[in-house]
Structure 1
Amino acid sequence: MNELAISAIERGGEPLAGLGALVLDGAWGRQVRDYLARAKAILFEQHLAGATGLAVVESYTRAVDHVIRALFTAARASYQERFALLDQRCTLVAQGGYGRGELNPCSDIDLLFLYPHRRDRYVDTVTEKLLYALWDTGVTLGHAVRNVRDCVRLAAHDFKVKTALLDARYVAGDAGLYTEFAAAMETEVLKRQATRFFRDKLAENEERHRRYGDSVYLVEPHLKEGEGGLRDLHTAMWLAKVKFKTNSVAELVQKGIVTEGERREIEAARDFLWRVRNGLHFLSGQHMDQLTFEYQERIAADFGYRDDATAKGVERFMRDYYLHAATVNRFSEEIIARCVERPTSYRFIGRFVGREIRPGVRVAAEQVAVGDPAAFRADPSLLVRVLADAQRHGLPIGNATRRLIRENAALLADDRVRCTPPVVAAFFDVLGWKTGVYDALNEMHKLGVLGALLPEFGNLLCMAQYDRTHLYTVDEHSLRGVRILEGLRAGAYKQESPLLTEVMRDEDRVEILYLAMLFHDSGKGQGGDHSNRGAEHVCRVAQRLGLHADEATQLEFLVRQHLTMSHLATRRDLHDEKLILDFAKMVGSLPTLRKLYLLTFADMRATNPKLWNSWHDMLLGELYVRTLAVFELGEFAAPDEGLRARRIRQRVADAIGHLAGPPLAAFLADMPDRYFLSVPESDIPRHVTLVRRYAEEPVVTHVMHFPEREFSEFTVVTRDQPGLFAKLTGVLTAHGMNIVGAHITTSDRGMALDVFRVSHLGRAVIARSDDRWEQIQVTAGRVVGGGLDVEELVAKARRPSSLPEKVVPRVGTRVEVDNDVSEHFTVLDVYTQDRVGVLFAITNTLYHLDLSIHLAKITTNVDQVLDVFYVTDIDGR
């Protein structure tokens, strides 16, 4: 029984000020429902007025206790009206969260109806009366009817039953029977099979973390089951109850297992999580535990968080949530570690025993440990060095040593300490080691060492990003990027990204790459362009770490330009020679290009798994290879485009002239230079074949699938007409296709050759369905021929779903115009909320504005789209 449960029972009296007592005199279910509704209304007002999480859960638990006791008394009286109450005994026992005294407003109520030996009419009457009354209230109710022997037997063989009974608490009925039950649990369950119970609970804990995202720092965290959620704390306290025979954090303090400061910290964190969960239940009106975007802003406002110049109120609220969740996670991990660690002593006859790996640092019981509490003050570099030792030996740091590191981490906050050669050398040993870089940095971050050593990174601690693009907080995202780079170095992505793997294998200064990953977003949360602010930060970092001038310059460039390569690859025409040459000049050197390529990959992949796919891999790789060629050839001047186009025409004529005949000559003459400069030469023979069919068919279509690259290519050859691209976009949209790119060419004789690329991601079955493409080809012919209105077609596809719309942060619409990146076109970047038919709406608007689209690149980042169009006006300018 925990401390909250005890207080809830002992206080007695009126369950909640202003609520009064429950009087049952008729329809019990309705009366109980009304009573609990009044209780919740009172508690909601108190919650909005700033009541603590503890105050609300404790008060609601007392209100439910009052209901259960009133129902039990009424049920017993009902039985006595018909039968004599002799030696029949029944006890109502609260289990789970109700047993812990931790009921949030819409929590489940879990009851055990306990009887001594045989189930009799009295037990059945009490059970039936209570259950029917509670079911009528609409509460979610869990229940079991067992005798003491059954409880002991089930708990001994089913760890879930044992777990539920660990939180058992007397509510009503025969108190003596509850005492017998508690004694039986103590002697026959808690003291037996502890090892098996620990094993089962730890496996359950690991699976739960995996199922709910395996991170404290998810943008829509699960308050109960997620990492850093309340269940982490429950698990730790269950194991502590079995191991140390404790019922509360206060008792852990009494036994010297945690400090008084740690108790205050974990109780504050738990209270914050309770308060958030209370708010979520009050606002949603249901048992809900995932803190979705829909409720984050509302709860933040209720808690008094407001927007300011540097961050939204909801982002500051979520940062506080992550800080408290991290506290729960850390506390739980340490308690669990204490529960399962092997009994061993690091001291023997006054001497610290174990294998010494450096003065004062030993390996004992398969852990790295420091025996002297004063060692870190004597030599602060040991704070980093001991983590490097653990990394090299592949061993965890002992619990007592972790606590010492956390207590002394602030020693590194002084420049006179963190800039010393021993500290810097130890840190670079961590970065340069062949394995365990992410694990070591993550441990440094958890223990406060990384933030003290690198305050620019420490400022990112639990920094929230209120959008669906970023799956994690800024610090977690940056560390995961390091893990991805480390995995790339180990060959984890060699099947899906062989080029990146090869480039990483040749990287000889991974330390600079890891630093760039750590600091690429360090400018966030300060207003202005975060890339430029981050570059300013790393200049200071480079100076403190003593980097050579060329390394410092490279690091600054990588942070300042960390978004450039992804922007160019996904938003610009990679066949534009000027763009490639300008990019190569900006990068300046081949080693910097390699690092920027690797950094871009890790950044995109660490942001959100949905952002990285084979399509992005191909685009980024194409930009890298084209820029690499510039460095290898050493030609930084733009070649004559007319000359390049003539050479390509000649190569095509030489390759297939004997097959294509006169139509090829006409094709080569009619198609503009830009076509030959921007289309892969290997595609031209196929296009020639389609154009030959066009002589006999008004609309020619062709589909090719590229499953290994996860896209299909849809080509249309027909007579050009106003709004053709918008019409074809509408056809594909109406049939559920996800367009990621398009290339539009019009010949000198007015023939259109439009090529669309359609992604397979999330819809491979549809995108590769022969039946679906046959429908598309037929529909395209009808739309182009004027027999079908494309706007009506798209309107049908927009029919609202019967499912509720998922609430997400709204994305504003904005349009950016770039007249500098291309010599021939104006480039429009359109940012807007993703929705059915949005691409058709944009292209149709551009058509009505008399703009001709020549190239389109479509990017969807979870719920935001960025559509890029290379356009000219009606006169081709």
Structure 2
Amino acid sequence: MPHQHLCAQKEQATQLYLRERSPLKFFRRHSQAIYAFLQQVWLQHFGADSPLCLLAVGGLGRGELYPHSDLDLAIVAPEPLHTAQQERIAQFVQTLWDAQLNPAVRSGSLNELCQAAQHDLSTDTAFLEMKYLSGSLNLAQRCEKAFSQQRDIVSFMQGKVLEMQQRHAKQPSFALEPNIKNATGGLRDIHTMMWLAKVQNLSGDWFHAAERALLHRAEWGLLRQSHRILAQIRIELHLAANRAEDRLIFDLQSTLAHNLGLGQHAQQGSEKLMHQTYRALKTVCQLNEMIVPMLCGRVYSHFPRHITHLDDDYYAVGNKIAAKDLKLFEKQPEHLFILIEKLQQNRQLNGIAPKTLRQWWAASQNINAHFYNNPANRARFLRFFEWGDGLTHIMRLLNVYGILGRYLPEWHKIVGLLQHDLFHIYPVDDHILMVLQNMRRFAIDAHSHELPFASGLMHEFEPKSVLYLAALFHDIAKGRNGQHEILGVADAQRFAHDHHLPTEHANLLAWLVEHHLLMSQVAQKQDIDHPQVIADFCEKVVSPQRLTALYLLTVADIRGTNPKIWNGWKAQLLQRLFQAALKHLSGENTPPSTLLNVREQHAHAILSQHHATPKQIKKLWQILGQAYFVSHSVEMMAWHLPILSAQPDLPTAQILPLPDNVLQILVYMPNGDRLFTRLCRLLSQHHLDIVAARAFITEHNFILDTFHVAFDERVLPEEYPQIQAALLQKLHRFIAQPFEIAPSSLKKSRRAKHLPFMPILDIQPDNEQQGWYNIEIIAANRNALLADITEVFAQYQVRLRHAHISTLGDRVEDRFWVHAPQWQLDSLQQWAFQRDLLAQLA
């Protein structure tokens, strides 16, 4: 009665777990019971002398088997399976199903399974954790050797890292119902670190990895504790749901909290459970960002290892900042912020070298009141917000590594804090960082198409740093048994005093924190068409500056609570309230003055001078959309609009000579395949270097691309008119019937050849819109580089929506906003895209 014996063994393992609550003991008992059962069933179906072998792979091979996990098995044959063997395998699998197990079986000859692993990373990973159970031991040993010999370690590691990045984009750790297995910082991240070590023949058992100096003792303790917490939660989830449930869903949070003795009241227990969960997830994130690069660095590097001196204390290893003395942060704690300041202000750097990161984090544990009271540290912290660039990234970095909570004790209280209001979907700290991110997006030109009105306001608002600080402090007093908007004022005022903010800025910051809910409440709960409502609202707002700041904070706040909550209706409601209040504050007859309004007014004036009719203007506005007016200057509009207004549905190409031997080129035509790429190639054929470019797509799917090009140094000035005429003629042919242009020869400048410059490629998923990505490239310039870059886009069906091209001599700094939803389904395709794109940049 092997089935009955298995049930008894599993029940015993569960009861012992409920008594001891030890995940590792449960795994050992549960796995051993399964192993014994599988061996018995194998003997029943295949006998003791079978030429086949049975292997446990994946989680079963690892010995980390949860109550309702699938049984990952492999049945390997020395030769292709014949009919009788296939029938026995089917009977074997059916017996497992009858035993209420969930078998996931790979079967075939050794050669067939090896071939499958070569083309499927998941299969290869499963066999990395193979454990012999029964059958031919010799075949099992051959199998292990064959998989090891054929495995490309570099490709395997790159694939697992990219797979992890894709998983992080889809499964954030800050979800209110986090997936304990797949979330950022979840169990799968621990497994990934283990696989990257094991494929290098390092210890695959992370709980003995400290013996091999892979982890410091403190890191080993944190990782072991985090694994214990997450594994325990996942076991509890399976038992409570009586199924393979990996999400900490609302329905089970109170049950788990009660079972784990975390609180007498459901809400209190749930809060403690989630707080514990988020802390564990963040700890794994911290370790993951240090350990994964160190493991990868043992085997491969994305780029040649270029060492660049930065100053007496720091150097760059590729695009990572590193400390020359790893004891620097311990000796001089002020460097905890100096490093971040250098990282923020040097665009060539996009992270911290692993060993430096490890020491930086270790030293940060000693941040105290003395560190906070240091005027230099306070000045640097404030400059993070005044500088602006990269602010969201560094604040997330400081939060993940606990430094933000040590520097601002009030922040520490909200890390992982839940908001039980059926409104916010993020813990308080992550919500605040989402609001900060939204505020930064308003200031970034590439995102101006998302909310053109808000972007227009943000472009002209000063000081932007106060808006960023308002985002940071607006919810910092959540969970303190009082009105958080009132309690938060004291925190904001203390910060302003300690960091010597000008009185005007300090007052605006405190006012925004206190009244950050005002505008949404008025817009959604009162009649904003009633003059008295507007008058009362303006009495509290007082000035246009406060109104603009409040509007921007309100929009950023709503969009940072839950993407599903923000919609066109709310946007229109807030905009109407803003316009009505601005009109009231400015005087009845004074039109509102925003960047969008001003540019639209300029556009009207421009078109009026060219005798455009109201009908033509209206149609042109519909075609261009509001994003056009935010992302194009008045000077650019003065050139574009008269050309487009006459016949907005007809393609055209124009060239305008500018000072310093620069040509400004406009191409307006129906969107099509690889048009930007082909236009770049066309320009390079005429010995023109693209120094700036802007890609724009209209509401009726025309491209409106503007290039600034300079003549190649080989071209003589007397040849300029001839080249311009020939170029215009070819552009007219192109817009009439787009044709292919042969690629030019790859040629770097002499300077770029002799001065090694490490290219930087950074691909970040857009947090607001799935399938959209921001790509930043910093590289040495060469002939037709932009065309070759966008050719790779086309090859991998990556659709370009916005491009901002900047050429600085022999260096390019290009930013692209692209649509590539296929990457969410196929991480290897993104890896191949990165590989081919880097080949063009090398």
Tell me if both proteins adopt one fold, taking TM over 0.5 as the criterion.
yes
Matched, 1:293 2:250: yes
Match of 1:332 among 288, 291, 300: 288
Contact 1:384 1:449 in 2 (8 A): no
Say which is worse superposed, 493-502 or 224-233, in terms of deviation. 493-502
* Alignment of structure 1 residues 482-493 onto 2, 5 Å: 482-493=436-447
Matched, 1:401 2:363: no
Alpha-carbon deviations, 1:90-136, whole Å to 9, x = none? Answer: 32100111111111110000111123346468855753442121121
Runs (5+) with no aligned partner, structure 1: 1-22, 25-31, 346-351, 636-707, 710-877
* Alignment of structure 1 residues 444-593 onto 2, 5 Å: 444-593=398-547
* Alignment of structure 1 residues 618-657 onto 2, 5 Å: 618-633=572-587
Match of 1:150 among 112, 131, 140: 112
Contact 1:219 1:465 in 2 (8 A): no
Alpha-carbon deviations, 1:717-774, whole Å to 9, x = none? Answer: xxxxxxxxxxxxxxxxxxxxxxxxxxxxxxxxxxxxxxxxxxxxxxxxxxxxxxxxxx
* Residue 342 to residue 89, structure 1, CA distance change in 2 (3 Å): closer
| Distance in 2, Cα, partners of 1:315 & 1:278 | 19
CA deviation after TM superposition for structure 1 residue 516, in Å: 1.3
Alpha-carbon deviations, 1:428-485, whole Å to 9, x = none? Answer: 2221224211011111112222222222122211112235421211111111111111
Alpha-carbon deviations, 1:551-580, whole Å to 9, x = none? Answer: 222212211111111111111111222222
Match of 2:345 among 392, 409, 427: 392
Alpha-carbon deviations, 1:180-214, whole Å to 9, x = none? Answer: 3223333x134xx22222232233223223333xx
Give the secondary structure class of the aligned counterpart of 2:73: strand
CA deviation after TM superposition for structure 1 residue 246, in Å: 2.7
CA deviation after TM superposition for structure 1 residue 47, in Å: 3.9
| Distance in 1, Cα, partners of 2:184 & 2:475 | 24
Contact 2:306 2:318 in 1 (8 A): no
CA deviation after TM superposition for structure 1 residue 65, in Å: 0.9
| Distance in 1, Cα, partners of 2:22 & 2:505 | 51
| RMSD of aligned alpha carbons | 2.7
Residue matched to 1:63: 33
| Distance in 1, Cα, partners of 2:484 & 2:15 | 41
Contact 2:336 2:360 in 1 (8 A): yes
Match of 2:176 among 205, 210, 219: 219
Matched, 1:305 2:262: yes
* Alignment of structure 1 residues 251-266 onto 2, 5 Å: 251-266=208-223
Say which is worse superposed, 170-179 or 508-517, in terms of deviation. 170-179
| Distance in 2, Cα, partners of 1:42 & 1:223 | 25
Q: 2:342 is matched by which residue type in structure 1?
A: D
CA deviation after TM superposition for structure 1 residue 537, in Å: 1.8
Taking only the aligned residue pairs, the percentage that are identical comes to 27
Residue matched to 1:196: 155
Residue matched to 1:280: 237
Contact 2:405 2:412 in 1 (8 A): yes
Residue matched to 1:53: 23
| Distance in 2, Cα, partners of 1:317 & 1:97 | 25
Give the secondary structure class of the aligned counterpart of 1:621: helix
Q: 1:230 is matched by which residue type in structure 2?
A: L
| Distance in 2, Cα, partners of 1:578 & 1:368 | 57
Contact 1:219 1:468 in 2 (8 A): no
| Distance in 2, Cα, partners of 1:35 & 1:322 | 39
Match of 1:101 among 63, 75, 82: 63
Give the secondary structure class of the aligned counterpart of 1:358: coil
Matched, 1:135 2:110: no
Larger Rg: 1
Give the secondary structure class of the aligned counterpart of 1:92: strand
Contact 2:330 2:363 in 1 (8 A): yes
Contact 1:57 1:105 in 2 (8 A): no
Match of 2:142 among 180, 194, 199: 180
CA deviation after TM superposition for structure 1 residue 528, in Å: 1.6
* Residue 386 to residue 301, structure 1, CA distance change in 2 (3 Å): same
CA deviation after TM superposition for structure 1 residue 48, in Å: 3.5
Q: 2:150 is matched by which residue type in structure 1?
A: V
Q: 2:581 is matched by which residue type in structure 1?
A: T
Contact 1:391 1:437 in 2 (8 A): yes
Give the secondary structure class of the aligned counterpart of 1:412: coil
Contact 2:71 2:101 in 1 (8 A): yes
Contact 2:154 2:299 in 1 (8 A): no
| Distance in 1, Cα, partners of 2:144 & 2:520 | 62
* Residue 263 to residue 342, structure 1, CA distance change in 2 (3 Å): closer
Give the secondary structure class of the aligned counterpart of 1:609: coil
- In the alignment of these two chains, the number of paired residues is 587
Q: 2:356 is matched by which residue type in structure 1?
A: T
* Residue 44 to residue 561, structure 1, CA distance change in 2 (3 Å): farther
Contact 1:280 1:288 in 2 (8 A): yes
CA deviation after TM superposition for structure 1 residue 39, in Å: 4.0
Alpha-carbon deviations, 1:654-710, whole Å to 9, x = none? Answer: xxxxxxxxxxxxxxxxxxxxxxxxxxxxxxxxxxxxxxxxxxxxxxxxxxxxxx99x
Residue matched to 1:648: none
Residue matched to 1:646: none
Give the secondary structure class of the aligned counterpart of 1:528: coil
Alpha-carbon deviations, 1:770-827, whole Å to 9, x = none? Answer: xxxxxxxxxxxxxxxxxxxxxxxxxxxxxxxxxxxxxxxxxxxxxxxxxxxxxxxxxx
Q: 1:102 is matched by which residue type in structure 2?
A: E
| Distance in 2, Cα, partners of 1:365 & 1:626 | 52
Contact 1:387 1:444 in 2 (8 A): no
Say which is worse superposed, 226-235 or 564-573, in terms of deviation. 226-235
Q: 2:346 is matched by which residue type in structure 1?
A: H
| Distance in 1, Cα, partners of 2:400 & 2:38 | 44
Residue matched to 2:205: 248
CA deviation after TM superposition for structure 1 residue 36, in Å: 4.3
Contact 1:388 1:440 in 2 (8 A): no
Contact 1:385 1:427 in 2 (8 A): no
Q: 1:207 is matched by which residue type in structure 2?
A: Q
| Distance in 1, Cα, partners of 2:373 & 2:569 | 43
Give the secondary structure class of the aligned counterpart of 1:287: coil
| Distance in 2, Cα, partners of 1:384 & 1:277 | 37
Matched, 1:171 2:128: no
Alpha-carbon deviations, 1:610-636, whole Å to 9, x = none? Answer: 11111111111122222212221299x
CA deviation after TM superposition for structure 1 residue 344, in Å: 9.7
Matched, 1:410 2:374: no
Give the secondary structure class of the aligned counterpart of 2:365: helix
| Distance in 1, Cα, partners of 2:106 & 2:308 | 53
Contact 1:383 1:449 in 2 (8 A): no
| Distance in 1, Cα, partners of 2:5 & 2:509 | 64
Q: 1:152 is matched by which residue type in structure 2?
A: C
CA deviation after TM superposition for structure 1 residue 293, in Å: 0.8
| Distance in 1, Cα, partners of 2:299 & 2:155 | 17
Matched, 1:613 2:563: no
Q: 1:203 is matched by which residue type in structure 2?
A: L
* Residue 344 to residue 378, structure 1, CA distance change in 2 (3 Å): farther
| Distance in 1, Cα, partners of 2:254 & 2:51 | 50
Q: 1:189 is matched by which residue type in structure 2?
A: Q
Contact 1:520 1:559 in 2 (8 A): yes
